[in-house]
Amino acid sequence: MVYITAHPVSDPYELASAIHCTLRGDTNAPLTAMINYVPSAFAALSNMVDNNEYHEQWRTYQSVSLHEMTHALGFNAYLAPYFESVTLERPAIITKNHEFVNSKGKHYKVNKQYIQTPNVLAYVKDHFGCDAMPGAELEDIGGLGTAGNHWKAAVFGEELMLGYSQGYAPITGLTLALLKDTGWYTVHESKDVKPLVFGLKKGCDFALKPCSDTTWGFDGYWEITNSKPGCSATRSGVGLSQVWVYPTVLPTQYQHFEDGTWGAQNGPVFDYCLFNSPEVVDNSGSSYYCLDTSRKPNQYGTNLSSTEMRQYSSTIQS
């Protein structure tokens, strides 16, 4: 049972949140949960007379609901120790310390958290084509509820269970693998499950090392298109790939360029990593996604100014 509420919250970027309320006595599977929709974030919904399922805003609302429901079902770091696939010797989440060198030759250490349950581990090994994957990396940025409770955006790119809303947020085999690993659900094949495209077969360096012109040197990644729109890295839409000069020097681990103030327009959500993402927007603020059949193929401008760019910014908290 899920209780739905609509309370305002203080975080201006929060869209919705979910929390389990009670667990089953035998398996610890969630029995009841609560989903809160932040009223101001859903104001546009009341004006939508034409609920065109391909409209970006409508699709985002649908994704947010599915996202929160997935948290309610058990996609939650607090519940991970109770997954049936977890043993004392092999916990659900592991932390690994990595040492890297940034573009300026500076050594630094970072801790990364990975989900290493069996189906998730098998999925990411196959997805990236990397047997050395320790698991699926969890988000390390964002506030309480975002970090540690979502797939890492800079590694998985486009997926339902990232901590940030997107115009296209497909449910993929990665999230289903986690639901399978809970042991609480049977997962069926469905046409609604989409392939995870970001990083597909890009190897261990792409998935595990910091992004750079060598680790991310693939079509659609690490190419600067500036104001010429082109296919996004995942082919989900029309996008841009730009390097911005930020007002201050970026933190050590995000210095991917010679100049420490340079970073991709994708911003902190994607570790300032450079890839072509659907950020070309029209007058209504909607991005150009390929699955939006209401648009003509050439219906995007070629003289776009920087004011027409935007970052993915809205946060979904758990």
Supply 109's token pair. Answer: 């250490």
How near is the Cβ of 124 to Zn ion at its closest, in Å?
19
Q: Which is nearer to Zn ion, 176 or 274 (CB)?
A: 176
Supply 50's token pair. Answer: 């034409």
How near is the Cβ of 194 to Zn ion at its closest, in Å?
18
Element housing 57 (H / E): helix 56-73
Q: Which is nearer to Zn ion, 19 or 250 (CB)?
A: 19
Q: How many CA atoms lie within 13 A of 286 on its CB side?
A: 19
In degrees rounded to 5, what are phi and psi of residue 92? -70, -40
Q: Which is nearer to Zn ion, 9 or 243 (CB)?
A: 9
Closest by CA position to 256, among listed 220, 232, 224: 224
How near is the Cβ of 87 to Zn ion at its closest, in Å?
26
Cβ–Cβ < 8 Å for 232, 212: no
Q: Which is nearer to Zn ion, 147 or 281 (CB)?
A: 147
Q: How far is 133 from 120, CA to CA, in rounded Å?
A: 10
How near is the Cβ of 148 to Zn ion at its closest, in Å?
11
How near is the Cβ of 233 to Zn ion at its closest, in Å?
23
Q: Which is nearer to Zn ion, 172 or 318 (CB)?
A: 318
3-state secondary structure 171-197: CCHHHHHHHHHHCCCCCCCCCCCCCCC
Supply 120's token pair. Answer: 């998730």
Closest by CA position to 151, among listed 217, 75, 225, 37: 75
Q: Which is nearer to Zn ion, 86 or 316 (CB)?
A: 316
Query: What does the binding site for Zn ion look like in residue numbers (CB under 5 A)?
Result: 316, 318
How near is the Cβ of 160 to Zn ion at its closest, in Å?
9
